[in-house]
Structures are given as structure tokens and as C-alpha cells.
Structure 1
Amino acid sequence: MHNPLPQNDLKRLITALRMKYATQFNRNFPMEGKNAVPMELVEEEAAKNLAGVTSMQFERGLALLYTSTNKFMPSFADFRAMCIGEDWWNAQKAWIKACEYTKIMKHVATELPDGTFQYREITKLAKFSLDQVRHYINDGEMYRAKDEFIRLYESYVMEAQVRGRVQEWYQEPKALTWNNDGKDFQPVDNEEAQKHLEELKKKLNVKNRAVPKPQKFQLTPRQKPVESYWPDPFANPQAYLQACAVDGVDVDMKIQRQLGGGV
């Protein structure tokens, strides 16, 4: 993470603004009266807006401030943009590049001076912000997608600058390719294929390995039918009547006569 700008640099900036835009500076930050703003607060506000700006970037911004022909005093946020310059895309440019990126049918890498190739179609933060709003784009909500993209991108860039990171290009993932070393596939006959299959079976055959035995299913023995306590009155009427007499069961005389056991 970058250290905050030295207090001396903040004083140099405020001095440059007061000298070049005296009237506007005194109107925005009056030194006297009931609306007077202490210079300590002005320096504190400048330090907050310039968080993450390096010394080299600050010197560039200060040089641009001195050579600017703009008659209106830049805000501290505007001065920050002057310091950063082309080190980072601004939100509007990032959105335009993101829209162009969605139309690319075939990604082409750029050859660098050292002979290597690099994709320079979109930055990592712009690509990440684009991925966050793709659902709006797919639904046709372009205005909402743009507003959300700009909000996210500005937040991500601010965080990246505070952490001292630099803008990086997004690199397309490499596509999977089949490498056969230039050899053409030559089919083999059935006999040789069977030979290779048998060799493979031998390699897969592991001796002395524990093979779980399959579970055996056994039939449950049928239960013997329970013998009736009372004899069948139709098959053996005399035994039935005798059993009733032994147990003291009264049998109607009509039934006895039908069974042949009564007068």
C-alpha cells in the first residue's frame, strides 16, 4: 500500500492553486469571515482525494496544472485524474472498451517489442466489472448496466490505487488443443486389437485380492399348518361329539341327530 503524500507536496499543490486561481480559491476556501475554512482542513481534504497517488504521478499532475489553459480551478478529484493520467482508464473509456469487447468474435494477441504476445483488448478491472453487469446486458437494460458498471469500476480503481496496484491487461484463457505430435491416426486390425485387449486384461488382473462373496438368498422354510384342536365335525362326527363331551360343550340335539350321535 502506498504511503500518503508528504505534507510538503500538499502545501505545494495548495500554493499552486492559490497562485493560479486566486479568486476562485478564496471563494471556495475563504480565509476570513464566518465561512472561513482552516487551511488544515483544506490539506486534509486534499490528502483524502490523493490517496494512492505516487510521487511521480503527483509531479506529472502538478506539471499539467501549471501548463493548463483551463480558466476554472480543478477540484482535488480533478487533480487526481490529472495525476493518474493514462495509468488507468477512466470509467467512461472503460465502458466503451467493455462494449467493444462484447462484440469481438475472435481475440487477437498483440506482439510486444520483446517478441512475446499479449492480449490488450480490455483490462482486468474492466473485464471484472463487465462480468458483474452481464445479466443487465442480457436482459436489454443497457442504461442500468452502464450506471452500475461505472459505479463498480470507479470503486475498484480507487481500491486498486490505494493498494498500489497498476493497471493490467486481461489475458484470454488458452483454448484446449489436441497435440498428436504430427502423427496421423492409423487404425489397427481386429486381431491386433484383441491382442492389446488381452494384455490390458492381464495388467488389470490383481492376484490374491479379496473378492467379496455375493450374498446368498435362502428360502424361509414353510411353517407346518397348525393342527385343529377340534376334529372336523363332517369328516369325523363321532370324534367331534366326543371332544365336545370331554370339554363340556353342549351340542344341540338337532345337530347331534344330523351328525348321527343322537336319538
Structure 2
Amino acid sequence: MNNLICQNDIKMLIATLRTIYATQFNKNFPMDGKNAIPMNIVEQIASNTLAGVMPHQFQRGLVLLSTSGKTFMPSFAEFRTMCIGQDWWNAEKAWVKACEYTKITEHKAVEIEKDVFQFQEITTIAKFALDQVSLLINDGEMHRAKEEFVKLYGEYLAEAQLKGRVQEWYQEPKQLAWSNDQEKQIEHNPLPNAEAQKHLEALKQKMNVRNRHIRKPQELKPTPKPLSTLITNEWPDPFDQPDAYLKQCELDGCVVPATIRKQLGGRHV
């Protein structure tokens, strides 16, 4: 049992069929004999066939069933069409509406209630199927586009009905527009001429490199040492103090050539 119509609705349908088409119902669903079909099986088949039918659609189908005056009893599938046939476009009608939609240059909404507007030019499923075949239409392959459209629309329609959805109109997206009210809200308050000239002169001063005040960098000067400053760690003079000089070289690891050591007296060689 689906969650849209209840078991009592199915029993009401079967009771209506047995009342209006008693002979045909008993022939199609015999209660006795080797071909007997239990009534619970009949109810289950009817329930599965009517999956996705809304309660208001079911009630309309019952009214049509009772007032149609048809001689032959409709099948459960035909009764389903009676329930939802007026709510949904069939594939052929959807294709015609889709072709008309492509020719609309300015979309206009319809006022369905006071201050409530709605576009009613194409359904959401038809628009979705149309978008899928738009490239074929642009290439001029109308025959192939129609075949693809009818196929896609039938699949989308069956899926929507199975989920219990109702037909919805496609609503055009809102277009952003610049209103006159926004222009009125923007007011320009010009500055007095004297103040504007003042700002202009200040800008010129900033942009004029020649007139710009440039700070001089700090000038660094060396600090001279007084002549009386004693030089510390002074090496001994090699000519006045040859022994001390050679000894200092030995302590610091400086290599003194043999020729120089010989000239200094040959000591510490």
C-alpha cells in the first residue's frame, strides 16, 4: 500500500467497479472456480497500479468513473489515467508547449491571486526536457529533438507521478534591474570652490617632486683619535730589537724567511 491513498480508497474503487460493471468485474476477477483470484490480490494489484496518485486525484477519478457512461469497465491502469490525466501534460502536448515557449520573446506572469503572480508558460518537467534537447533544436534537427524530448519527458513524468508530485509551472528567474529609486537616493554634494582649490593645491604639492621637502639624511663623521693615545700591543722593531722581534714571530707562529733572519743577526734561526 502506498502512502498517498489508503486501503479504504482501494476498497471503494473495487466496490464502485463491482457495482457499475458487475458482469465484467466478475468475469475478470472470478471469485470461484479454478481461475478464482482472491480479493486481497486484486486490492494489491490496484494499490500498486495507483502508486503516486494523490487523494484529490483519486476522488476525481471516482467521479469520472461514475459519470463517464462507458460501456466497458476500465482497467486499473486506465483508471489511473482518469485520476491524473488532467493534471499532467502528455508528451505530445508538452512538446507543442515547449515549441511555443521557445518563441516567447518576453515572459509575462499571470496574476493568480491579488498581488500574486505566476508564470504559466511551461511546466518544470517540460522545461527540463527542453533544455536537454536545446542543442539539437539549435542545429535544426527538429525530428530528432522531438523524439528525444518525448522519450525524456515520458521518463521524467513517470518518475514524478511515482513520487506523488503534482505538476508545477516553471518560474522564470528574477532579472536584476536598476530602478529610478536608486538613482534618486544617490545625491552629489559638491564642495565649495575655495575648499576644492585648497585640496587641489595640496595634491599638486604632493605630486611635484621638485617642490617636495626632502629630509637630509644624517651625516656620519669619523671621530679622530688623539695623538697622545698610546698604541698597545706594539710589535718590537725588527732593526732596533731584532731578538725581541724574532721571538715575537716565533710566539705568534709567523714564519720568518732564513734570509731575513740572517740579516737580523742570525739569532733564533
The TM tier, using the shorter chain, reads 0.5 to 0.7
1:101 aligns with 2:70: no
For 2:108, what is the secondary structure of its paired residue?
coil
Distance 1:126 1:25, change over 3 A: same
Distance 1:40 1:140, change over 3 A: farther
Query: CA-to-partner distance for each residue in 1:179-229, whole Å, 9 max, x for gaps?
Result: 563469x9xxxx99x96xx7xxx9xxxxxxxxxxxxxxxxxxxxxxxxxxx
Letter in 2 for 1:117: F
Query: CA-to-partner distance for each residue in 1:55-79, whole Å, 9 max, x for gaps?
Result: 2321221111011122232222221
Alpha carbons 2:53, 2:161 under 8 Å: kept: yes
List structure 1 segments (4+ residues) > 6 angstroms apart after TM superposition. Answer: none
Structure 1 residue 47, shift from structure 2 partner: 1.0
Matching of residues 158-237 of structure 1 within 5 Å: 158-179=158-179, 181-182=182-183
Residue of structure 2 equivalent to 1:128: 128
Alpha carbons 2:95, 2:150 under 8 Å: kept: yes
Distance 1:155 1:99 in 2: 19
Distance 1:25 1:95, change over 3 A: farther
For 2:45, what is the secondary structure of its paired residue?
helix
For 2:169, what is the secondary structure of its paired residue?
coil
Distance 2:157 2:57 in 1: 15
Distance 2:129 2:175 in 1: 23
Distance 1:16 1:130, change over 3 A: same
Residue of structure 2 equivalent to 1:82: 82
For 1:112, what is the secondary structure of its paired residue?
strand
Alpha carbons 1:61, 1:79 under 8 Å: kept: yes
Structure 1: give runs of 5+ residues left out of the alignment.
Answer: 203-263
Residue of structure 1 equivalent to 2:41: 41
Distance 1:143 1:46 in 2: 37
Letter in 1 for 2:12: R
Residue of structure 2 equivalent to 1:59: 59
Further displaced range: 169-178 or 23-32: 23-32
Alpha carbons 2:4, 2:164 under 8 Å: kept: no
Residue of structure 2 equivalent to 1:150: 150
Distance 1:33 1:83 in 2: 33
TM-score by length of 2: 0.59
Residue of structure 2 equivalent to 1:114: 114
Query: CA-to-partner distance for each residue in 1:144-189, whole Å, 9 max, x for gaps?
Result: 43343333323323333343433221111223434563469x9xxx
Query: CA-to-partner distance for each residue in 1:120-141, whole Å, 9 max, x for gaps?
Result: 1011111112112223333444
Query: CA-to-partner distance for each residue in 1:213-247, whole Å, 9 max, x for gaps?
Result: xxxxxxxxxxxxxxxxxxxxxxxxxxxxxxxxxxx
Structure 2: give runs of 5+ residues left out of the alignment.
Answer: 189-195, 208-269
Taking only aligned residues, the RMSD between alpha carbons, in angstroms, comes to: 3.4
Letter in 1 for 2:79: F
Percent identity of the aligned residues? 61
Distance 1:54 1:101 in 2: 29
